[in-house]
Amino acid sequence: MPPVEELIWFAAALAGAGVVAGVLAGLFGIGGGAILVPVFYQVFGLLQIDDAVRMHLSVGTSLAIIVPTSIRSFMAHKKRGAVDLELLRSWVFAVPLGVAAASLIAAYVSSGGLRAIFAIIAILVGLRMLFNRVTWRLGTDLPPNPFRAAVGGVIGLLSALMGIGGGVLNNTFMTLYGRPVHQAVATSSGVGVLISIPGLFGYLWAGWGAPGLPPFSTGYINWVAVALIIPITLLVAPLGVRLAHALDKRQLEIGFGLFMMLVAARFIYSLV
């Protein structure tokens, strides 16, 4: 058992991460995974957690935190009738299969490899937000299977490798095919459920018995972080929402795009 002082410092650092992630998640209107992973990576580094597991732990812990928040969000959106349940049903197997593939990759890829994957996807997401146009369309309705199922698998794969709930990727897919943004956001909460639950078990398995994990970790999930971050992010997210309402949608897109590019640059620098 580590010293009490070390545990207190560990908890305090994670609580601070929760405040930052909660405000930024509220500001940018996303589930928080894209915020939590880079914040966790920095905090785990300050706590001198082994570099070999630092990125894996950040991604796995983020996915665990998304489980209750995505379920709560999905139930609320479903009650309002805003969710495309037909799309979710068509992805019941495809998205978790993508998550399972990501768990296999996480079990064998190095920390540097996982950071490189995150950086590449973050750059693509950042460019999409920076240069997004409402007029961009690939079609007037969602494509049928097997293409639709393939997209679900890719969203599950990439999201689980990044530790995110799939909101940014699914929003992009649905709006490019003519669906209203509000329906895309609501449906993304259900996609988050399909990603986070199998992702939780996948990263438990992938990191089972890995050396260098911090106290109170099971596989690549740290339960101290999970217990601290969930209530803190729910508490402080409204502060970010208030800031968001002071800015227009395009300013938020540019802000989030720049944030993603900054995160990508940070991870690329760590690989040099």
Tokens of 128: 């999409």
The pLDDT, as a whole number, for residue 93 is 96
Q: Which amino acid is at 249?
A: K
- What pLDDT does 2 receive? 56
Residues of the chain below pLDDT 70 = 1-3, 6-7, 21-22, 24-32, 134-135, 237-238, 240-241, 244-245, 247, 249
pLDDT attached to residue 121? 86
In this predicted structure, what is the pLDDT of residue 235? 79
pLDDT confidence of residue 70: 82
How many Cα atoms occupy the beta-carbon half-sphere of 270 within 13 Å?
23
Pairing between β-strand 217-218 and β-strand 221-222 as defined by DSSP bridges = antiparallel
pLDDT score at 248: 72
- What was the pLDDT predicted at 8? 78
Which amino acid is residue 104, in one-letter code? Answer: L
Q: Identity (one letter) of the amino acid at 204?
A: L
pLDDT at 31: 59
Is the backbone peptide bond immediately before 68 cis, with ω within 30 degrees of 0? no
Torsion angle in degrees (nearest 10) through CA of 246, 251, 255, 258: -170
At residue 136, the pLDDT reads 72
128: closest CA among 22, 262, 253? 253
Tell me: the pLDDT tens digits for 48-81? Answer: 888 899 999 999 999 998 888 788 778 877 888 8
Which pLDDT does position 134 carry in this prediction?
64
Structure tokens at 230: 């969930």
- Each residue's pLDDT tens digit, 232-243: 877 776 676 677
